[in-house]
Structure 1
């Protein structure tokens, strides 16, 4: 009976946590909805537009800090803040390099977090190692595919090496996310990659702009950040549950 009662208690705790987390995420959902409501194809670049676009990532950072504490500013919460900076920069086309640099820092912080003890497994299955190798090969192939278009872009002397570094960092983030085995984290990293692929193909004129191209980019992007944030909260919760189990 004790075991059954403990299992039932754990299920109630997880259910209560999910409900509380959903409540905390309501501002994120409202801010994302506001962005799509206000955004139009001919929207001018403005500080207000930058604020509306970056608000969802900042609100997710606040959720992660409120659940995991200030140390998360050096992890996923910090990555979300850098992402918000990148969101604001990309509102103005002449700040693209700055935005890409901010997102590169976000991927680096995510990667370092995914290597922490809260995520890491005792051993990495061989299939994950093969999948990581495939990730980097696909990333390199995609870079070579868009390389001719990068050469034609303004400031190509910065764009070409910058995109190469960025491609490496997002590929690294994706491989380390898969290594964690956390479903929200894995799906979040994959959604982030889909968003960046869709953005780069259109931004660098590899393909014509899609009719709903911006919506595809932003929906997958906001979804990615949401899943990565939720994955970080749950990873911390799992660590605390494991610590309690060891002490009992």
Structure 2
């Protein structure tokens, strides 16, 4: 197969993959729409609301598993499953720390995935600008922790919350930094959008800002978008790796 035939095959394969992936994501879009349709500021915590909230994330996990197989169970699929646990926990305010712990595990799994071989081919850790972005992210994370520290001290469980939030910030900034390292556009945007979502959530949960009319919508839109981008980025990374192996064979 010559170069022109290979390029044509590559284009057809990418186009077919994109269409098939979009179709497999339709249940996710539908479940997210159901969540926003049913959710109201006065919604009470219940198993039903937890199920509706976590359904989009669980469906994303199913999509990634169907495309990438078992190799993603300890990666993005695992991260999505722990995120779904976190979704359920955050429905009940008293389970906030449990939810944060579940999301911390999810960020660890994402981070390990972004260091895997399927991302390595396009990653770079030697660029001055890339390293500068890492530094900026960690400085922003540290600055944010300092900013919300007085508000964390006012919380009833501040003794536990203060170190827990500090560790969580380190983990999510690490995840965001490694997402940048992959140079996978979807993954990069997903990692950064996840950080935006969590900043929005923290400002509201810890009462740093006055209650926002559409605060929850902002958190959930950015959250679902982040998970979608991370999931799509992982599927694309595996497909690119498979195609690279095919070309070299």
Task: State the match for 1:211 in structure 2.
Answer: 213
State the distance in 2 between where 1:48 and 1:201 align: 26
Task: State the match for 1:133 in structure 2.
Answer: 135
Does 2:23 match 1:31?
Answer: no
Taking the TM superposition and a 5 Å limit, the aligned residue runs for 1:115-126 are 115-121=115-121, 123-124=124-125, 125-126=127-128
Does 2:243 match 1:241?
Answer: yes
State the distance in 2 between where 1:20 and 1:36 align: 25
Q: Over residues 192-240 of structure 1, what are the superposed CA-to-partner deviations in whole Å (9 max), with x where a residue is unaligned?
A: 0110000100110110111100000000000000000000000000100
Task: Determine helix, strand or coil for the equivalent of 2:119.
Answer: coil
Task: State the match for 1:202 in structure 2.
Answer: 204
State the distance in 1 between where 2:71 and 2:155 align: 39
Task: State the match for 1:152 in structure 2.
Answer: 154
Deviation at 1:126, TM superposition (A): 2.1
Deviation at 1:129, TM superposition (A): 1.1
Does 2:196 match 1:162?
Answer: no
Task: Determine helix, strand or coil for the equivalent of 1:206.
Answer: coil
State the distance in 2 between where 1:2 and 1:173 align: 40
Deviation at 1:127, TM superposition (A): 1.3
Deviation at 1:10, TM superposition (A): 1.1
Deviation at 1:123, TM superposition (A): 4.4
Task: State the match for 1:229 in structure 2.
Answer: 231
Which range moved further: 233-242 or 2-11? 2-11
Task: State the match for 1:54 in structure 2.
Answer: 54
Taking the TM superposition and a 5 Å limit, the aligned residue runs for 1:98-109 are 98-109=98-109
State the distance in 1 between where 2:13 and 2:85 align: 35
Q: Over residues 148-177 of structure 1, what are the superposed CA-to-partner deviations in whole Å (9 max), with x where a residue is unaligned?
A: 000001211111111000000000000000
Task: State the match for 1:70 in structure 2.
Answer: 70
2:124 touches 2:181 (CA, 8 Å); kept in 1?
no
Task: Determine helix, strand or coil for the equivalent of 2:213.
Answer: coil
Aligned residues: 247
TM-score, normalised via structure 2 length: 0.97
Aligned CA-pair RMSD: 1.1
TM-score, normalised via structure 1 length: 0.97
Task: State the match for 1:193 in structure 2.
Answer: 195
Structure 1's 70 and 144: CA in aligned 2 closer, same or farther, altered over 3 A?
A: same
State the distance in 2 between where 1:81 and 1:120 align: 24
State the distance in 1 between where 2:245 and 2:4 align: 20
Q: Over residues 35-81 of structure 1, what are the superposed CA-to-partner deviations in whole Å (9 max), with x where a residue is unaligned?
A: 00000110010000000000011000000110001121100000000
State the distance in 1 between where 2:182 and 2:156 align: 38
Which range moved further: 2-11 or 208-217? 2-11
